[in-house]
Structure 1
Amino acid sequence: MLSKGTILITGFNGYLAGRVAELAMKAGYSVRGTVRNLDAGAEVQKALLGLGYGCRAEVVQVPDMTTPGAFDQAVIGCSAIVHLASPVKDTFILPPAEVVRMNISGTMGILESASKAGPKVKSVVLMSSVAANFDVPTQPGIYSEENWNTTSEPAIAQLGSEAGGLHAYCASKTAGERAFWKFREERNPSFSMTTLQATYFTGPPLIPWTSPSQLPFSLANLFSLLSTKQIPGPSLLYENTVDVRDVARVILWSVLNPSVADGQRYLCAAATGGPQAMADVLNKRMPELGLSRGSPGEGYDEGYPSTSGDVAFDGRKAVEATGQDWIPYETTIVDTAKALVPLLK
């Protein structure tokens, strides 16, 4: 089958990237992924080849995305760009101001490279985070695309290295996304520009995890429940989740509908559960796991609405735009648990 075009995906070896690549290739596109380390990219390429997509997955190395022109060669010939790469692993290691600088540099770098590539590039989608939607400390409320973090950048300016990793992460996502929109306002590019903000990722990965050390922070409580069989404490900040496969779907929809998605933020938030809700779901659907029952039914609302909880999120805009609802909470918890069970052995 002839390819419909090539979609560039940065941060190709990430949890989300594999699912974006999978959907893009199912839709008939080729993918080109950027990675810091070629070995990591080869694992993704191997998994995609195993799904029967032939040789339509290419991997290129970008050792430092903050270097001017880092993406210039990677974008050539691409019809769309999905920018997922960000310095997440450096968030609690480097000074907060450096984390912010790196995220802005990477975002601006991909936009500059897209501009140089000419009219073939039709859309650029940036993966942001709900960390760009709420203040720290968090305030109770229902957050939507209209909200922005207003506290983390000032905290870093005032406290420097003492601001901590949470402010570093929130500020980097906020500053990177604001730079993205400033570019659109000032440069009026020929390509569409869209951002997504997502809550905690759940769902199975494209490439099975082989060690607990590979798990994203968003799955810490679920893995703790499975490994200890005891119900853990609450998650950091909020209990809202979204299936990684749904986020990939909204990303690809944004790529394929540039005229509709241009200039839009889409908040990806599917459900509010929590440790007790996870235990209730798994005790019903996978009783063989032998998990603690805890206090069934407590701490969450029936139906797991994303707008419940002290810190809640409204994901209706993305649902209305794409015409498709989120994967049900119970489905994603069961699917994720099945992907995690092999790590318990």
Structure 2
Amino acid sequence: MAVNKELVLVTGATGFIGFRTLIETLKAGYRVRAAVRNQGGIDKIKKAASTQAYLGQLEFVLVPDILKEDAYREAVVHVDYIIHLSSPTTNLEREPSTDEEIEKMLIQPAVKGTMNMIEAASTYSPTTKRMVITSSIVAIVEWPEMHMETGNVFNEQSRTENIHGPFGGLFPAYGRGKVAALNATEEYMRTQKPHFEINHIGPSFTVGKDELATTRAEILAGTNGAALGHVVGAAKGMKTPSSSVFVNDVARMHVLALDPRIAGGQFFLGVSEGSNTRWEEAFDTVRKHFPKAVESGIFPLNGDNTTKRLIFDNEYTKRVLKIEFANFEEQVKSVAEQYLALEN
């Protein structure tokens, strides 16, 4: 494909979804400026197999602290589009012990990191036409609904209000950070009316090969753990909502949402299987595709992950982005293949 002269700033490119989005953006023909925190991130991206064909389209900018005022001042200069994936996760170096620490370490950074990017584009990048921001299904669902199986149906128009502590754990706090970031962004767009548009992508539990992961533990540490944790016996007593999506599809959604033929100001839902993912079916997938790994005990199938029904209607997303989502079998097969390829 011919290289597009338009330049896309991509943040979070060393992350699970971020790296795959970087590759899909390059594959689409865009030039890409990847914002990373340190030289180690640059080296990791440059060495990856998927990057090799596109190094001529790729440049880097260091942004050591996304929460610092004017953090993205240099990064946004002369860019046409921005894909903003960088955001705090629950994989923290130190686990917070109080609600005040959770607020400081998860909630506030989720909002400030996003608003820093939006304000930088507003102030320093008159060339920016559109931004695509990674959100989550947890940004539009009241936390109790995640596991209560109420039968309520959520779609691209669903929203929920900001909630402050007590948070009840890291993952609920992560969700509330996503709620606060989405609400702050949409309020900014309503009141400040900047020169660019914003679309949001809301993935569900994202599953698939994590190319930058180098150990089996790294694979299980993220949302891939919901698909494979019980297969390897590392997850017992889990209860996970019935919504998953292939990482490649989420990455493609970010690129598709840049298209000026698609209206801005929208939220698109990354959910496969019509919200009918059944995590227990990962056992059937590995039995079918990796019988020797089951027989040898690499996949002992002695964990459990109970599916809790959570319903999304993303027919609008599929129609507007013209995307069909890979099924759960393909998702599990992708991550299981990588797990087997790694030695530890």
* TM-score (ref. length: structure 1): 0.85
Corresponding position of 2:54: 53
Q: Shift of residue 35 of structure 1?
A: 2.0
CA distance in 1 between counterparts of 2:285 and 2:115 reads 43
Corresponding position of 2:156: 145
| Residue from 277, 282, 287 that aligns with 2:281 | 277
Q: Shift of residue 263 of structure 1?
A: 0.8
CA distance in 2 between counterparts of 1:47 and 1:165 reads 31
Which 10-residue stretch deviates more, 242-251 or 128-137? 128-137
Corresponding position of 2:33: 32
CA distance in 1 between counterparts of 2:26 and 2:271 reads 25
Secondary structure of the 1:173 match is: helix
Q: Tell me, yes or no, if the aligned pair for 1:221 and 1:232 is still in contact at 8 Å.
A: no
| Structure 1 residues 193-215: Cα deviation after superposition (integer angstroms, max 9, x where no partner) | 10111110101123353341354
* TM-score (ref. length: structure 2): 0.85
Q: Tell me, yes or no, if the aligned pair for 1:38 and 1:60 is still in contact at 8 Å.
A: no
Code of the residue aligned with 2:251 in structure 1: it is A
Pair 1:39–1:199, CA change in 2 (3 A): same
CA distance in 2 between counterparts of 1:126 and 1:97 reads 21
Q: Shift of residue 327 of structure 1?
A: 1.3
Percent identity of the aligned residues?
23
Corresponding position of 1:192: 197
CA distance in 1 between counterparts of 2:154 and 2:322 reads 21
2:321 pairs with 1:316: no
Code of the residue aligned with 1:117 in structure 2: it is Y
Corresponding position of 2:291: 287
| Structure 1 residues 75-109: Cα deviation after superposition (integer angstroms, max 9, x where no partner) | 11211101111111349734222122111111111
Corresponding position of 2:264: 262
Pair 1:50–1:262, CA change in 2 (3 A): closer
Q: Tell me, yes or no, if the aligned pair for 1:231 and 1:292 is still in contact at 8 Å.
A: no
CA distance in 2 between counterparts of 1:266 and 1:101 reads 24
Q: Shift of residue 221 of structure 1?
A: 3.7
Pair 1:120–1:283, CA change in 2 (3 A): same
Pair 1:114–1:325, CA change in 2 (3 A): same
Pair 1:215–1:234, CA change in 2 (3 A): closer
Secondary structure of the 1:81 match is: strand
Pair 1:168–1:231, CA change in 2 (3 A): closer
CA distance in 2 between counterparts of 1:193 and 1:176 reads 13
CA distance in 1 between counterparts of 2:195 and 2:246 reads 32
Corresponding position of 1:217: 222
| Structure 1 residues 189-240: Cα deviation after superposition (integer angstroms, max 9, x where no partner) | 2212101111101011233533413544312243334434x9854444x131
| Residue from 83, 87, 103 that aligns with 1:97 | 103
Code of the residue aligned with 1:278 in structure 2: it is A
Computed over aligned residues only, the root mean square deviation of the Cα atoms, in angstroms, reads 2.6
Secondary structure of the 1:59 match is: strand
Corresponding position of 1:154: 163
Pair 1:113–1:259, CA change in 2 (3 A): farther
Where does structure 1 lack aligned partners over 5 or more consecutive residues?
Answer: 301-308
Q: Shift of residue 316 of structure 1?
A: 1.8
Q: Tell me, yes or no, if the aligned pair for 2:232 and 2:300 is still in contact at 8 Å.
A: no
Code of the residue aligned with 1:335 in structure 2: it is S
| Structure 1 residues 226-255: Cα deviation after superposition (integer angstroms, max 9, x where no partner) | 434x9854444x131101110111110011
Secondary structure of the 2:180 match is: helix
CA distance in 1 between counterparts of 2:321 and 2:9 reads 22
Report matched runs for 1:125-144 at 5 Å.
125-138=132-145, 139=148, 140=150, 141-144=152-155
2:179 pairs with 1:180: no
Q: Tell me, yes or no, if the aligned pair for 1:221 and 1:235 is still in contact at 8 Å.
A: no
Which 10-residue stretch deviates more, 136-145 or 6-15? 136-145
